[in-house]
Amino acid sequence: MHALFLVMNLLGALGIFLYGMKLMSEALQKVAGARLQVMLNAITSNRFSAVLTGFLATTVIQSSSATTVMVVGFVSAGLLTLTQAIGVILGANIGTTITGWIVALLGFKVKITAFALPACGIGLVMTMAKSTRTRYWGEAALGFGLLFLGLALLKDSVPPVTEEQMVWIHGMSGYGIASTLLFVAIGTLLTIVLQSSSATMALTLTTTVAGYLPYEGAIAMILGENIGTTITANLASMGMQAAAKRAARAHFLFNIIGAVWAVMLMHVALLPLVDLLVPGDPVAALSVEDRTAAATTLTAHLAAFHTTFNVLNTALALPFVHQLASIVTRWVPEADDEPEWTRVTTHLSAVIPHTPGLTIAQVRHEMQHMVQVLTDMHLLVFEALTHPDTPLGENVTVVGEHERTTDELEMAIGEVLSLVTEAGIAEDLSDSIRGLAADTHRMERIGDHLKKLMALAERQNQSAKRRMSAESIAFFAEMGESLGSALAELDVYLSPEGDMSHAELLQVRVDRGRARIRRFSKLLLKSDERASKSLMLTMDAVHVVSDIFDRLGSIAYNYASIDVDDPAP
């Protein structure tokens, strides 16, 4: 019964630690928002900058799993190449070692509750603020407090090791390479179960300081954690395109190769190098009765090993990034069962429920693709409308194909957004998703209106009696330029660099366009156009253009109503 109570306490402490890590990581992702996505998306073919980006991203959000899952999504969406993704993943492996240093330097040297509980209290108050950004920072502070509170409870939940247990532990570590591989397997399985290498690292540090793990066994577990953490990205890539699966497999292969050479060179090179970098004898520290003093030496050595190994592993792999990409490309061939929407979309990948912010970013990129389709349509339509003597050629067919593309894009975006909503998201993200879905529909309707305009241009082209007056043609030429400027503003706003100023500019252009349409409609009713068919066609075209500006106006006012404290999704 006592043993069961200890196990339950240990699981409870681990649960608080994991929840704190999850809350902090997700909140930091929200705070970073579009800036993090811009940073990942701005990577060049330079592998060194890719590694640095992966390191910085993981340091910011404190989760290598989140970084690699985002990278997998970007690869699937075509925003990153496979070689760029591999560079980011290498950097993420280094960035994840920062968590071990935080735990080692703070978790065992200071009284954790002295800052963990205040952090929880301050964070809780901040989550009640009106500003969305302040609430996100509050969630991060609350997660930080819970993480260290869980660590404190974890330390208290591990009882002192008995002499019988010590004999058994030494027996486990007395089989040479077999013992090392056993501890590697334990670290791998624990990380797969907990879905967090940071949690496994905290557990490894805690149990080692308590005397339950030999030093070399803890080192081997850290190598196993590096393997186990790759499972998250591989799970996320299931059902995604081949490119995403290749990025996930590259992460797995890279960490497996690293663990193999590290086991082989552990005693020859790695451990002696760590001993040179960090003072003290970690093996002797295990026999010291004062566990607080032992913790300083042990945790510093383990954290240093984690960082040293990942830095060396990255340095050895960097020259062979293209070869690694070639291997995983052969390993994962192109699949025939890609998601249906990949036929027309350029940025959407399969939904990643754990990172709705990434999916929203992909949707915004896909909406930019939709704006480009509308821009191409608008150029063809207004060219035809304002040049009635020019043969239309294939332009009518092309506009019809573009209109069908906007229909398919709306369905694809709607399907992805509905899947993200079903996965369960925060209310502020839910509001963003509803707004994006509504605006996607408005853009699809603009495509319908442009097709109607093309049909009117075709009628005008076929009959001289339906030709508009020179004044009407000049008006539509002006409206074509105005619409082009509005679409350009919408395109910029949907980009990661867009902000509320672009929504306001779109709103201004729409208001000016509407005012010009009203003035022209009044003049048209008083015009002396000779043929009623010409007047009817002109009126029909004015109504359609008015509908287009109404749709753009709805989009502009929708964005203008968004809380300016919200980070761009």
For the chain, give every domain's residue range: 2-331, 356-560
Dig out the tokens for 520 from the structure: 């022209």
Task: Write the single-letter amino acid at 453.
Answer: L
Residue pair 298/215 in contact (Cβ under 8 Å)? The answer is yes
Question: How big is the chain by its Cα radius of gyration, in Å?
Answer: 30
Separation between Cα atoms, residue 392 and residue 377, nearest integer Å = 13
Which burial class, exposed, middle or buried, applies to 312 when counting CB atoms under 10 A from its CB (0-12, 13-18, 19+)?
middle
Q: Reduce the secondary structure of 42-107 to three states and give it as a string.
A: CCCCCHHHHHHHHHHHHHHHCCHHHHHHHHHHHHHCCCCCHHHHHHHHHHHHHHCHHHHHHHHHHC
Q: Is the dihedral of CA 179, 185, 186, 191 positive or negative?
A: positive
What is the amino acid identity at position 338?
A: E
What is the spatial distance between Cα 136 and Cα 195, in angstroms, rounded to a whole number?
23
Q: Would you say how long the chain is, in residues?
A: 569
List CB contacts of 5: < 8 A, sequence separation 6 or more. none
Which CATH architecture describes the domain 356-560? Up-down Bundle (1.20)
The label of the residue with tokens 């509407």 reads: 514
Q: How far apart are CA 566 and CA 131, in angstroms?
A: 8
**Residues 197, 191 contacting (CB under 8 angstroms):** yes
Write the DSSP symbol of residue 465.
G
The answer to whether 152 and 108 have CB atoms below 8 angstroms apart is no
Predicted TM-score (pTM) of the model is 0.63
Q: Which of 236, 33, 39, 284 is nearest to 137 (CA)?
A: 33
Helix/strand/coil for 227: helix
Amino acid at 397: T
- Distances in Å between the Cα of 564 and the Cα atoms of 327, 503, 561, 569 are 46, 11, 8, 12
Q: Which amino acid is at 558?
A: N
Residue 170, both tokens: 């030494």
Per-residue pLDDT of the chain (569 residues; tens, 9 = 90+): 566 777 788 778 778 877 887 787 677 766 665 566 566 656 655 778 888 888 887 887 767 777 787 787 677 656 678 888 888 899 988 988 887 887 777 766 556 667 778 888 999 999 888 887 788 889 888 988 887 788 777 767 766 655 565 556 666 666 778 888 989 999 898 888 877 787 788 888 888 887 778 888 899 999 999 998 888 778 767 766 677 788 889 999 999 999 999 999 998 889 999 989 888 777 766 565 555 566 778 888 899 999 999 999 999 998 898 899 899 988 888 754 454 444 566 666 554 545 566 677 778 888 988 999 999 999 999 999 998 888 888 899 999 999 999 999 998 888 888 877 765 555 556 777 888 899 999 999 999 999 999 999 998 888 777 788 888 889 999 999 999 988 988 888 787 666 667 777 788 888 888 888 888 888 877 665 544 667 888 889 999 999 999 999 888 876 544 433 333 33
Task: Pinpoint the alpha helices (H) of 127-176.
Answer: 132-157, 163-172
Check residue 253 and give its pLDDT. 92
Residue 136 vs residues 97, 423, 509: alpha-carbon distances, Å: 24, 20, 34
Whole-angstrom distance, CA of residue 154 vs CA of residue 6 = 11
How far is 154 from 165, CA to CA, in rounded Å?
19
DSSP for residue 492 = H
Return all residues near 130 (Cβ < 8 A) that are at least 6 apart: none
Q: How far apart are CA 555 and CA 509, in angstroms?
A: 12
Tokens of 457: 């241009």
What count of other Cβ atoms lies within 10 Å of the Cβ of residue 175? Answer: 11
Amino acid identity, position 174: G
What sign results for the dihedral spanned by CA atoms 360, 18, 39, 568? positive
Picking from 405, 423, 400, 398, the residue whose alpha carbon sits closest to that of residue 346 is 405
Q: Are 372 and 48 in contact (CB under 8 A)?
A: no
Inter-CA distances, 105 with 76, 108, 118, 119, 314, Å: 38, 7, 19, 18, 24
CB atoms within 10 A of CB 563: 11
224 with 193: CB under 8 angstroms? no
Q: Are 14 and 150 in contact (CB under 8 A)?
A: yes
Angle between helices 2-41 and 64-76 (to 10 degrees): 40
Alpha helices, H only, 281-346: 282-285, 291-317, 321-331
The token duo for 213 is 């793990």
